[in-house]
Amino acid sequence: MKDLPPLNTDTINAILNEEIDDETVNQMVWYYLGYRYNESSQTWENSQVEPSWKEEYPQPPNFIENRPPTVKLTRSIPKENKQLLKEKLGFKGYKIGTFNPRDTRRATMANWLLSYLVLNAPS
């Protein structure tokens, strides 16, 4: 797995602006969910993954290509953090007719990462 960009608002904006490729965005979410890639065995380890994710997805899911894990990701964002992209970054969303499922999934991933960042920020 390649080096990931830092988890900060610049990176979240870069995800929304498609300046970061889909593979890297997937890997960022996998990392913060607890999935770790073992280079020597070339396998994914899930010992740090929350049980509900580990049970349903023993291997990290592709959030861009598959709707069900993205729905689970959306549901895992605390209610008070559902609008963080708008509140913290001024993200206005997409105009009808100008977005596709991939865009929506990337926005969900960006919101989940921003929620993770806010929840795990030092006090």
- Residue linked to tokens 């964002």: 77
Residue 102 has pLDDT above 90, yes or no: no
Tally Cβ neighbours within 10 Å of residue 39.
Answer: 8
Buried b (16+ CB within 10 A) or exposed e, 11-24: bbbbbbeeebebeb
Tally Cβ neighbours within 10 Å of residue 70.
Answer: 23
- The phi, psi pair for 110, rounded to 5°, reads -65, -40
For the stretch 33-77, pLDDT in tens is: 999 999 999 999 999 999 999 999 999 999 999 999 999 999 999
Domain ranges of the chain: 9-33+61-117
| 107 neighbors 13 (Cβ within 8 angstroms) | no
For the stretch 19-31, pLDDT in tens is: 999 999 999 999 9
Q: Which CATH superfamily is domain 9-33+61-117 in?
A: Protein of unknown function DUF1823 (1.10.418.90)
pLDDT category at 87 given cuts 50, 70, 90 is confident
